[in-house]
Amino acid sequence: MNSSDDAVSDDEILYRSVRESDILRDENGIILRIASPAFNDRVREVSLDRAKFRTSEQSRFRASDTVVSLRAGDIRAITDIVHGGQQYQIEVRPDPILNHPEFPDNPAHSVVVGNPHLTKQAFEKLKPILALLCWVVLEGADDNNDVA
- Cβ neighbour number for residue 148 with a 10 Å cutoff: 2
Distance CA 73, CA 75 (A): 5
**What is the three-class DSSP state of 102?**
coil
Instruction: Choose which of 4, 14, 15, 44 interacts with other proteins (CB under 8 A).
Output: 44
We find the least distance from the C-beta atom of residue 43 to other proteins, in angstroms, to be 6
- Cβ neighbour number for residue 81 with a 10 Å cutoff: 19
Distance CA 49, CA 72 (A): 11
**Does 36 help bind other proteins (rule: CB under 8 A)?**
yes
Which of residues 6 and 105 has its CB atom nearest to other proteins in the complex? 105
Residues 87-106 that bind other proteins (CB under 8 A): none
Which of residues 3 and 101 has its CB atom nearest to other proteins in the complex? 101
CA distances from 36 to 7, 39, 57 (A): 27, 6, 22
Instruction: Choose which of 6, 7, 61, 87 interacts with other proteins (CB under 8 A).
Output: 61
The answer to whether the CB of 26 falls within 8 A of the CB of 16 is: no
Give the binding range for other proteins (CB under 8 A) out of 3-11, 49-57, 76-84, 88-96.
76-84
The answer to whether the CB of 71 falls within 8 A of the CB of 9 is: no
Residues 1-20 that bind other proteins (CB under 8 A): 17-19
We find the least distance from the C-beta atom of residue 1 to other proteins, in angstroms, to be 27
- Interface positions with other proteins (CB under 8 A): 17-19, 21-22, 24, 32-33, 35-38, 40-44, 47, 61-62, 65, 80-83, 121, 124-125, 127-129, 131-132, 147-148
